[in-house]
Amino acid sequence: MITDPTFYLVAAPAILLAGISKGGFAGGVGFIGVVLMTFVVPAADAAAILLPILCLMDLTGGWAYRKTWDRTSIAVLLPGALVGIALGAVLFREFSDQYLRLIVGSIGAVFAIDYWVGRRGARAPVTPSAAAGTFWGLVSGFTSTLIHAGAPAYSVYMLPKRLDRAIYVGTSAVFFLIVNYVKLVPYAWIGLFDARNLTTSLVLAPLAPVGVWLGVRLQRHIAPGPFYRICYALLLISGAKLMWDGIWPWLQ
């Protein structure tokens, strides 16, 4: 397994943030976990180490929100997501670590900027078309397979619907539970689950239910505003740094 203490100093808060997000507090900020871990290990290894932990979180989060999810949204999003997962699996090895860092950083920065400048919350509820749901489901499945970054595309489809908060969180929990467990198959096929990555996942796994529990508690008792602002500021800074790391080799 990985023995570098620096890795665990970064990985522990990254996993707790992912769990807090899975628990329903501060939505897509769990993506920060992926961003942070790519600073200390290659992006492919970060994805492989995180996936079993995310699957464990999904069981906890799925159980917590098992009675509050929108079946229609899942039915619209899931077919496209499965196609996106298959596409991501086929193309995964075509992306070098440099490209993956650039992708991770770009998605993170755009997601953060959208939070800071977007005005979606002020709009009236809208039900996107089934075609839009299939498309964004495909994008979500594809980016989730590459770097566990399915939340932005998922949010593009779901947020305009202005669902009740508990239903939105529950639908997210069910959707990504299915997506992440399906991803286990292509990750094994690609060869990402070597002994080093799986052992490291096992060591970090106890943090998974702790993070989800924190997310559930925070979602029920604390306004997420300040936490959102801090996390998205960190996401913007981290995303910009990873984008620079991806672009810099081309400038030399």
Report pTM.
0.80
What torsion do the CA atoms of 223, 228, 231, 232 make, to the nearest 10 degrees?
180
For the chain, give every domain's residue range.
5-251
- The predicted pLDDT at position 26 comes to 59
* Tens of pLDDT, residue by residue, the chain (252 residues): 788 899 999 999 989 988 887 776 656 666 777 778 888 888 888 889 999 999 998 887 778 778 888 899 999 999 999 999 999 999 888 877 777 778 777 877 877 787 777 655 445 667 778 899 999 999 899 988 988 878 778 877 887 787 777 788 788 889 999 999 999 999 999 999 999 999 999 999 999 889 888 887 877 776 666 766 766 777 677 778 778 877 877 876
Q: Where are the alpha helices (DSSP H) in the chain?
A: 5-22, 31-37, 43-64, 71-91, 97-117, 130-147, 151-158, 165-190, 195-204, 207-221, 225-251
Phi-psi label, residue 26: left if phi above 0, alpha if psi -120 to 50, beta otherwise: left
- The predicted pLDDT at position 183 comes to 96
